[in-house]
């Protein structure tokens, strides 16, 4: 059973992973299907070195895993429930974005 402290740590790791647009795009790509780094780099239009750094971050956060396939490694979400979590989060954020009740959000850059 997760303690409150570990639940907070898990959410903070997830938040750090989502804080970067490239990692968000990477998670969304892996949500659709597992892929090899070369395919992901091409799909996201970034260098393999840059992709490797982001994959390392996502691995360290426990969000993706590398699966050896012959001499190559294929990446996928660490748990299928992450795909549902990403979908739910994306849907919730879109709903909040379309229903902004804070009239000063743009000025304060808070919401």
What pLDDT is attached to residue 111? 58
What is the predicted pLDDT for the residue at 110? Answer: 64
What pLDDT, on a 0 to 100 scale, did the predictor assign at position 6?
Answer: 85
Angle between the 4-18 and 21-32 helix axes, to the nearest 10 degrees? 100
Flag residues of the chain having pLDDT under 50: none
pLDDT digit string, tens, across residues 71-80: 999 999 999 9
The confidence score (pLDDT) of residue 61 equals 87
Token digits of residue 30 = 């892996």
Q: Write down the pLDDT at residue 4.
A: 61
**What pLDDT score was predicted for residue 84?**
92
Q: H or E segment at 86?
A: helix 81-98
Q: Return the bridge partners of 75, or none.
A: 35, 66
Tens digit of each residue's pLDDT (9 = 90 or more) over 37-57:
999 999 999 999 999 999 999
- Between CA 27 and CA 18 the distance in angstroms is 9
Task: Report pTM.
Answer: 0.78
């Amino acid at each position: 059973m997760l303690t409150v402290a570990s639940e907070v740590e898990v959410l903070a790791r997830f938040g750090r992973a989502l804080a970067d647009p490239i990692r968000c795009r990477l998670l969304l790509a892996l949500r659709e299907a597992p892929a090899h780094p070369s395919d992901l780099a091409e799909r996201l239009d970034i260098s393999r070195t840059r992709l490797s750094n982001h994959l390392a971050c996502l691995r360290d956060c426990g969000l993706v895993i590398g699966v050896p396939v012959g001499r190559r490694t294929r990446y996928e979400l660490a748990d299928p429930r992450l795909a549902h979590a990403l979908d739910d989060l994306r849907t919730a954020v879109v709903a909040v974005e379309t229903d902004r009740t804070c009239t000063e959000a743009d000025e304060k850059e808070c919401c």
